[in-house]
Amino acid sequence: MRLDPASLRLRIVPLSRLRLHEDFDPWRARRLEVSLRHQHILKNPVIVVEAGEVYIVLDGATRVTALTELGLPHILVQVVSYDDPSVRLRTWQHVLVGLPSSSLANALGRIAPHGAFACDLPELQAALNARRSLFGVLASEGHAFAFPNRQDPKEDIRLLSQAVATYRGKAEVHRAAEVDLPALLTLHPGLTAIILFPPFTPADVTHCATNETKLPMGITRHLIAGRALGVNVPLEVLASDRPLEEKNTWLHDRLQSQLRHNRVRLYEEPTFVFDE
């Protein structure tokens, strides 16, 4: 990957043209809004793909929501493409800690009138991969249950959102990329269940972004090579009434200066980042 402004595909765009494909957490958005008011800096760009006249947000729903609440007209984005093999769409699984299994079963039973069928983990994963199951539950004891979908995308997403709502705020919810029950039990001693979701496609993300239905937050997981971090654009630049073209010229010149002074580094190896 070349280190130049064009290859980074960073640009400032109208905030009104961004579309979310998933719900957002109002509490997290409010916390970020307060932080932005104090720091006056947008550190990282929102990751988007272009879809006609709009930009679909792959990562950064909280930032979009917070900046919208601040009334900013423009936002910094990094444009990527689903056609690029370095952009991969995966799914998070939800690890629940502290919620009794009986409470979870009763709540899910009320929103899934078709019921669930017992199975083993490989059968559940096969049903999810074939999109025969809307979601599944793996209990801490190893029992698995699949919840059939309705073959109606809008209704399925609505039920999926209801399912996530049954435990969000009532249990600790941790994300897991892989379902390794023994390892997760060691990491989370109070684990009661793991909620498994089907794989989603770029078409699913686009559909949710351009329609009223949104996926629950914390399910889609985009792996993006060459993600730009620490760009640090002052909010006053985004908030000013200068023409958009001038703002992007300012951004281009800033990036050129940072590259010229070796202030941009490309990490090609996997990296651990510890939050402060």
Closest CA to 151 of 173, 170, 175, 134: 134
Residue 205 in any domain: the answer is no
User: Are the beta carbons of 134 and 147 closer than 8 angstroms?
Assistant: yes
Question: Could you give the CA distance from residue 2 to residue 158 in angstroms, rounded to a whole number?
Answer: 43
Residue 269 in any domain: the answer is no
Residue 120 confidence (pLDDT) = 94
Q: What is the CATH number of the domain that holds 170?
A: 3.30.1760
Residue 56 confidence (pLDDT) = 98
Residues with Cβ < 8 Å from 4, sequence gap 6 or more?
259
Could you give the C-alpha distances from 41 to 170, 203, 261, in angstroms and in order? Answer: 34, 33, 21
Residue 204 in any domain: the answer is no
Residue 188 in any domain: the answer is yes
Print the domain residue range for 251: 5-88+222-260
User: Are the beta carbons of 235 and 41 closer than 8 angstroms?
Assistant: yes
Residue 21 confidence (pLDDT) = 96
Residue 241 and residue 172 in one domain: no
Regarding predicted confidence, which is higher, 63 or 8? 63
Determine the straight-line distance between the first and last CA of the chain, rounded to whole angstroms.
29
Residue 119 and residue 188 in one domain: yes
Residue 62 and residue 132 in one domain: no
Residues 91-150 have pLDDT tens digits of 999 999 998 888 888 888 887 756 788 999 999 999 999 999 999 999 999 999 999 887
Residue 84 and residue 113 in one domain: no
Final residue belonging to a domain, choices 141, 162, 196: 196
Number of structural domains found in the chain: 2
Q: What is the CATH number of the domain that holds 240?
A: 3.90.1530.10
pTM of the model: 0.90
Residue 100 and residue 177 in one domain: yes
Residue 29 and residue 115 in one domain: no
Residue 68 in any domain: the answer is yes
List beta partners, residue 174. Answer: 95
Residues with Cβ < 8 Å from 145, sequence gap 6 or more?
116, 117, 118, 119, 124, 136, 137, 139
Predicted confidence band of residue 262 (pLDDT cuts 50, 70, 90): confident
Residue 276 confidence (pLDDT) = 46
Residue 162 and residue 244 in one domain: no
Average pLDDT, whole number, for the chain? 91
Regarding predicted confidence, which is higher, 202 or 150? 202
Residue 83 and residue 105 in one domain: no
Residue 113 confidence (pLDDT) = 59
In this structure, the chain runs to a length of 276
Mean of pLDDT values over 31-55: 95
Q: Which of 57-61, 180-184, 272-276 has the lowest mean pLDDT?
A: 272-276
